[in-house]
Structure 1
Amino acid sequence: MDCPGDPTHPVPDRLRRPARPTPAHPRPRRPGGRLGGLRDPHPSAYRWATEDAEGEIEALGALTGHPVRHQYKLPSQDDVLPPPDALLVAPLTSNTLAKWATAISDTLALGLITEGIGLGLPTVALPHFNNAQAAHPAIARHVAFLREAGVTVLLGDNGFVPHKPRHGDLDAYPWQAAIDALPA
Structure 2
Amino acid sequence: MTLLTTWPESGPQTVVRRTDDPAEIAAALAPIGVRYERWPVREDVPRDADSDAVFAAYRAEIDKLVEEESFATVDVVALHPTDDPGWAEKARAAREKFLSEHTHDDDDEVRFFVAGAGVFYLHVGGEVHAVLCEAGDLLGVPRGTTHWFDMGVSPSFTAIRFFHEEDGWIGNFTGSDIALRFPDFDALRAGRTAA
TM-score, normalised relative to structure 1 = 0.30
Bigger Rg, which one = 1
Of structures 1 and 2, the one with the larger relative CO (CA 8 A, separation 6+) is 2
More helix by share: 1
Give TM-score, length-normalised by structure 2.
0.29
By percentage of residues, which structure has more strand?
Answer: 2
